[in-house]
Amino acid sequence: MTSQARAAERTVAGLSCSEVLERLSAYVDGELSAAERAHIDEHLQGCDACTRFGGEFGTLVKALRTQLGAPED
Ligand SMILES: [Zn+2]
């Protein structure tokens, strides 16, 4: 994580962006419980900062947001 990414961090649905990013690979691999996935879904739908982390995370988050029906920005 760069300091720039940390500056953009938000807390949505009880999770900070960095917590979401830490769990993202487990999310994609299906290793999270339904409750954990629901929290991440809620965060991604309510948080446009995650897409600004860039790189593979940004691409992945954008794909997930599209899948969840969250508006693109
Ligand atoms: Zn976020």
In DSSP notation, 10-69 reads: -EETTEEHHHHHHHHHHHHTT-S-HHHHHHHHHHHHH-SSGGGG-HHHHHHHHHHHHHHT
Report pTM: 0.72
Q: Is residue 73 part of a domain?
A: no
**20, part of any domain:** yes
Distance 33 CA to ligand 1 centre (A): 19
pLDDT digits (tens, 9 = 90+) for 19-61: 998 998 899 899 999 999 999 999 988 888 888 776 777 888 8
The number of distinct structural domains making up the chain is 1
Q: What is the whole-number distance in angstroms between the Cα of residue 69 and the centre of ligand 1? A: 16
The alpha carbon of 61 and the centre of ligand 1 are apart by a number of angstroms equal to 9
Is 57 inside any structural domain?
yes
Statement: residue 62 has pLDDT above 70: yes
- Can you give the residue range of the structural domain that contains 34? 3-68
| 13 Cα–ligand 1 center, Å | 10
| C-alpha closest to that of 17 among 55, 57, 54, 50 | 50
pLDDT of residue 16: 94
Q: Is the pLDDT at 1 greater than 60, yes or no?
A: no
CA-derived radius of gyration, the chain? 11
